[in-house]
Amino acid sequence: MKLRKAEWLMLGFVLLAFALAAYFYPRLPEHLASHWNASGEVDGYMSKGWGLFMLPVVLALMALIFMAIPRIDPRKANIEKFRGYYEGFVILMMLVMFAIFAMILLWNHGVQVSPNLFMPVILGPVFFYLGVLCEKSKPNWFIGIRTPWTLSNERVWEKTHRVGGKLFKIAGVLGVLGIFFHKWAFLFVVVPVVAAALFVVVYSYVAYQKETKKATA
């Protein structure tokens, strides 16, 4: 199987994450801070083994899944039409996961960056680019807003992804603004994207009903 440039880059993130985990293993305490509450305070710990190697394993699984999707989707010809945007999103997701891993390493090594500043900066662009991906995506079984109604009607797919693209871009901008509201950063990141996701599900149903009525009129 010939790998694309983006896929080699995915594997590079995985190898670098495992290398960093191995390097920091003897240099960190036996229990690592691994979870922070909405106020940016540590409220969860893991053993060093789990804390160091869990995210590299997750990155490896993500890489395998992202590499498999364009090859196993029954509508992979459609994925090829926006493959570049898909791979851009995949690299961004891998970069975000790697950045979270790096933050955990640094925090437990004494360099404590506030998650309430860090998360809006890295997640806001992900949500914005998700909007771009929605606008470019074509009907398929794995990528995009996949409801029973978008998968059943290509016109509904197009309308839903056009609306969803705009909403996720707005959610991305609002997420980044969370850095200016430290105490409420979590809400700025989570609420807009959840609201956008719920809206597009309902919108796809309504759009499908309208398209069905047009077809039977």
Q: Which residue has 């999707």 as its token pair? A: 69
Range of the domain at 104: 1-112
Same domain, 100 and 144: no
Specify the number of domains making up the chain. Answer: 2
Task: Output the pTM of the full model.
Answer: 0.92
The pLDDT score that the predictor gives to residue 13 is: 96
The pLDDT score that the predictor gives to residue 36 is: 86
Indicate the residue among 60, 87, 112 that finishes a domain. 112
DSSP E strands in 19-158: the ranges are 31-36, 42-47
- 46 beta partners: 32
Same domain, 118 and 203: yes
Q: Under a CB-based contact definition with an 8 Å cutoff, are residues 168 and 131 in contact? A: yes
3-class SS at 155?
helix
Same domain, 157 and 108: no
Closest CA to 125 of 168, 160, 80, 83: 168
pLDDT band at 40 (very low <50, low <70, confident <90, very high): confident
Flag whether pLDDT at 72 surpasses 90: yes
Give the pair of three-digit tokens for residue 143.
């990528």
Flag whether pLDDT at 2 surpasses 90: no
Same domain, 190 and 134: yes
The pLDDT score that the predictor gives to residue 65 is: 97
> Each residue of 90-145: pLDDT tens digit?
999 999 999 999 999 999 998 988 888 899 999 999 999 999 999 999 999 999 99
